[in-house]
Amino acid sequence: IKIKVTKINVPVSVASAFEGERVRKDTMFAEFGGNKTECWELVTSGDPAEMEDHKITLIGPDIDDAMFAGADVVRLPLGIVVTVGGKAMQKDFETVLERRIHYFTNYIDGAMHVGQRNIAWIRLTKEAFEKGFRLKHIGEVLYAKMRSDFEKVVDKCEITIYTKAEDVKRLGEEMVKPIYAERDARMSALTDASVDEFYTCLLCQSFAPSHVCVVTPERLGLCGAVSWLDAKATKELDPLGPNQPIIKGEAVDERLGIWDSVNEVVNAASQGAVEKVTLYSILEDPMTSCGCFECICGIMPEANGVIIVNREFSQTSPVGMTFGELASMTGGGVQTPGFMGHGRFLIGSKKFMSAEGGLSRIVWMPKELKDDVAERLNKAVFEMTGIENFTNMVCDETIATDSEAVLEFLETKNHPALAMDSIM
């Protein structure tokens, strides 16, 4: 990736070198999202004729507001709307620019950004605050990077930052969620079989040098932020960029999802570290996981199925590990058969570990995740197996987390995984 040096008017440094920086509790000054407050981000296109370039607006209190005097940590809800306009701008580019909010914010010395869409999570350090960093400076950075990195399509850019709880909530429901849903619906209409090419994503090689995501219509990038449509749009925006097409050709093995073309590309892009991957199996040459996966699924042998844990869930899962413990085992660009990082949206894809029996192997998920994916998951399982309301059979932490109790629950629900072929 080319990183251009641009003059940005903020009191701290902004460079890709700061990308991997974490902001820990003891150095943290302010926090947005991360389960504590609502936090979302959106890139949308506007009519350039009606836009005022470089307009940055904060609606609501800033982090130096008097109401935070003496507070341990400043916590605010946050909604960021980046409006871009330009003759060459296309709707399909919006999500691509939106994902860059993650990278651009991480370039700020003293800022950490995790997640995307309405599960974004941002922290700022005390040091950055003391140097004079305020919320409008996030706008300055996003403005400068959107204009410079996407100069071909962005002629004008406006940033609006909302921090009043009622605005963040109302706009989140009325404006932002319908836009996310519309994008997802467009994506749902595409299948792996209906396209001629898949795409690589190499964006995370800055963190995990041997990691390659293979993005297909039914299998989005594991950060949850790069769909096949996004990868395709990125290729158009940035022909030499992180998303390159893989001309599919004939499958070597349809069930496991093996393509010679995919293996060749993954091998080359990982500098030989990963020789082969399957697209539809978590046991045989599963795809590697970088560090920013939204969820991890892992085998629970005694239940003959898999559990899924999302990043926001902090308790111990039925396999005896927390998300963090699972992540340290699964991440870093290595293949870990039996465990795999993936996006939330994959829960509901008919290709989700389809080689091992697919979605009906899911035996446990945190309640929040289960509720979030229920509609698509139930629909997909019904279409595949005829089972209605599958999520009623899936255990969660409000029912049980210890192995025996989970099994008991699965038995009372007659969970389909119990009757499937042995998973190991």
Is 213 one of the binding residues for ligand SF4 (CB under 6 A)?
Answer: yes
- Neighbour count for residue 410 (Cβ, 10 Å): 24
Q: Which of 226, 282, 297, 423 binds ligand SF4 (CB under 6 A)?
A: 226
User: For Zn ion, which is the closer residue by CB, 76 or 204?
Assistant: 204
Is 222 one of the binding residues for ligand SF4 (CB under 6 A)?
Answer: yes
CA–CA dist 51, 85 (Å, integer): 8
228-237 and 94-106 are packed helices; what angle lies between their axes, rounded to 10 degrees? Answer: 80
Is 204 one of the binding residues for Zn ion (CB under 5 A)?
Answer: yes
Query: Binders of ligand SF4 among 260-299, rule CB under 6 A?
Result: 290, 292
| Distance in Å, CB of 118 to ligand SF4, minimum | 17
Q: Which residues make Cβ contacts (< 8 Å) with residue 48, sequence separation at least 6?
A: 85, 86, 87, 155, 156
| Distance in Å, CB of 203 to ligand SF4, minimum | 4
- CA–chain centroid gap for 157, Å, is 24
- Cβ atoms of 56 and 135 closer than 8 Å: no
- Cβ atoms of 14 and 142 closer than 8 Å: no
Binding-residue pattern over the window 390 to 409 for Zn ion, x denoting contact by CB under 5 A: --------------------
3-state secondary structure at position 296: strand
CA–CA dist 384, 400 (Å, integer): 27
| Distance in Å, CB of 337 to Zn ion, minimum | 20
- Neighbour count for residue 371 (Cβ, 10 Å): 12
List the structure tokens of 209.
């040098």
| Distance in Å, CB of 208 to Zn ion, minimum | 7
Is 221 one of the binding residues for ligand SF4 (CB under 6 A)?
Answer: yes
| Distance in Å, CB of 222 to ligand SF4, minimum | 5
Binding-residue pattern over the window 292 to 331 for ligand SF4, x denoting contact by CB under 6 A: x---------------------------------------
Is 201 one of the binding residues for ligand SF4 (CB under 6 A)?
Answer: yes
Tell how strand 156-162 and strand 55-59 pair up.
parallel
Q: Which of 42, 256, 292, 299 binds Zn ion (CB under 5 A)?
A: 292
Residue ranges binding ligand SF4 (CB under 6 A): 201, 203-204, 213, 215, 221-223, 225-226, 290, 292
